[in-house]
Amino acid sequence: MENNFTVHIFGYGETQYIKEKVNFKTATTNLTKVQPLLDAIWLQKSSDVEGGDEYHAVNVFNYDRKQWQGKDKSKDNASFSPKGRGKDNASFSPKGKDDELVDLIDELVAEITRLIPKE
């Protein structure tokens, strides 16, 4: 389990991985572990989320915050953060290694890491 990283999954077809001294982008089609994570995050949306499952970006900040930015900006409720807490519904904390999202994030990070060219 890695800390201090960010993953951006962009709706236009790229995925970016950022951590200390690494800023790597690849085509999302190169990654088999993206869709299972997207599906798991989408399933955690609240019933008032509008705009369908198309996204502008899905962001993962460490394990602490996941954010789905809906593509349909004309809908006020097109974006969400799963299991949000606080008035802006902006963040949640997984309950440890057994959390499904943590495992899926680990699998995606491992897959991306294997693609990063060695210096």
Residues 74-89: tens digit of each pLDDT: 555 555 666 543 333 3
State the chain's mean pLDDT as an integer: 79
Residue ranges making up the domain that contains 32: 5-115
**Bridge partner residues of 19 (DSSP):** 5, 22
Q: How many CB atoms neighbour CB 20 within 10 A?
A: 6
**pTM metric for this prediction:** 0.80
Q: Which residue has the tokens 């955690």?
A: 44
Please count the structural domains in the chain: 1
Higher confidence at residue 32 or residue 56?
32
Q: Average pLDDT, stretch 13-18?
A: 98
Whole-angstrom distance, CA of residue 25 vs CA of residue 104: 19
Q: Coil, strand or helix: which one is 39?
A: helix
58-67 pLDDT per residue, tens: 899 888 788 8
Confidence of residue 17 (pLDDT cuts 50, 70, 90): very high
